[in-house]
Amino acid sequence: MNSTKTPLIGMTHSDLVELCYDAGVKPVHADHIVASVFRRYNSDLSSISTIPKTLHSYLAKHISMFEPTCSAEQLAADGTRKLVLQMPDGKAVETVLIEGAKRLTQCISTQVGCAVGCTFCLTATAGLTRNLSAAEMVAEVMAGQRISGQKVSNIVLMGMGEPLHNYQAVAQFLNIITDPKGMAFSPNRVTLSTSGMVPAIYRMLEDKFPCNLAISLNATTDEVRDRIIPINRKYPIAALIQAVREYIQQRGSKRVLIEYVMLAGINDSLEDAHRLSALLEGMHCTINLLPFNPYQGASFKRPDDATVSAFQAVLVEAKLIAIIRKSKGRDISAACGQLITEIKKKR
Ligand code: SAH
Ligand code: SF4
């Protein structure tokens, strides 16, 4: 990527309308660019036949296109595909494509690394290297579709990074992928997961982010949550739950997703299940129980299946919807950040 030029795939429709004005052509040409690049994945701007010559020369002068290189790929027996994508500056992120019965979900990274420092998360180990730009996140989606040869139907911001620590770029990314004239993902099929940045959750509400919300709750007492998600010391459970309830009240219909990583002997007791039921009482949510995905050097263990089922039963008894998330791609390096770590070790 030429750093003096703006990457086109990081631009929203209204950015492109501005660009048309700057180039002295009619704003309708923004529609043509969006249709060609974001709908038909055309990466050769010079081949767009519906835009005038003046716009072509403007684009050639000011705008760039880039595609990350795929430096590693793993395909699991269940169809889960993991890609390592290298960005123009050489930094790499992971993206995962997960096949479901009627859907193809892509898990997107929002940062290279992460600064939150959750003690059960492999991505946390190396800390934060840098934020991804909106263009780089869009490039993940494009690469996912190009490499898998399939249309992605759902997007989850659950890869490397804390999306709300990269607020502006994530907002821009969401606007680009949900643009009805462009990639046209329904906001209902896009989910942003956060470890609990309370002020940013209120800001998401104000800014009307076009996506669903997922919260990585992962504990039922501040004592445990402080230890495993350091940000809890700043935004404790009560404040987080209040923000989520407010979010639901204002946003209405769609269920919030509550993620709960189960760590053997830490947060998987029946007392935890009862406390979780009380915390979420009457909340319009779905709980995803995620048995810990082990990796080399981890200081946690995955609970056995009976413990996970007993925990789920308590939640169901309390009239909550609780799903045990099957770990997809267990025969490949399934935990987030794992493939990159393996590659680095081999070097
Ligand atoms: N930073 C955001 C989104 C990325 S992490 C967040 O924390 O919500 C996506 C999910 O994976 C989170 O719910 C996180 O708690 C979970 N997770 C991280 N490491 C895990 C592991 N080793 N096993 C199971 N789930 C894990
Ligand atoms: Fe960051 Fe999420 Fe991993 Fe915590 S779980 S370190 S917030 S990526």
Q: Residue 130: helix, strand or coil by DSSP?
A: strand
| Arithmetic mean of pLDDT, 309-319 | 98
Pocket of ligand 1 (CB under 6 A): 120-121, 158, 162, 193-195, 216, 218, 259, 261, 290, 292-293, 335-336
Q: Do the strands 104-107 and 92-99 form a parallel or antiparallel pair, or are they unpaired?
A: antiparallel
Angle, CA of 60, 29 and 155, to the nearest 5°: 85
| 317 labelled catalytic | no
- Residue closest to 284 by CA, chosen among 248, 326, 319: 248
pLDDT at 2: 45
Residue 85 near residue 70 (C-beta atoms within 8 A): yes
Nearest ligand (C-alpha, residue 128): 2
What mean pLDDT, rounded, does the chain reach?
A: 92
Write out pLDDT tens, residues 15-51: 999 999 999 999 999 999 999 999 888 889 999 999 9
Cα dist. 47→50, 160, 334 in Å?
A: 9, 35, 39
Distance CA 214, CA 192 (A): 6
| Distance from the alpha carbon of residue 89 to the mean position of ligand 1, in angstroms | 26
Ramachandran sector of residue 329 (left: φ over 0; alpha: ψ -120 to 50; beta: rest): left
Least confident of 144-153, 166-175, 300-309: 144-153
Atom of ligand 1 nearest to the CA of 291: 24
Rounded to whole angstroms, the Cα distance separating 173 from 72 reads 24
Give the pLDDT confidence score for residue 100 in this predicted structure.
87
Ligand 2 environment, Cβ below 6 A: 114, 116-118, 121, 123-124, 161-162, 195, 216
Report CA(249)–ligand 1 centroid distance (Å).
25
Q: Which amino acid is at 90?
A: G
Q: What is the pLDDT of residues 280-297, one digit of tens each?
A: 999 999 999 999 999 889
Which domains are present in the chain? 6-64 (1.10.150), 69-346 (3.20.20.70)
Mind listing the pLDDT tens digit for each residue in 74-112?
888 888 999 999 999 999 999 999 998 899 999 999 999
Is 336 in the active site?
yes
pLDDT for the residue numbered 332: 57
| Candidate list 118, 121, 285, 336, residue with the active-site label | 336
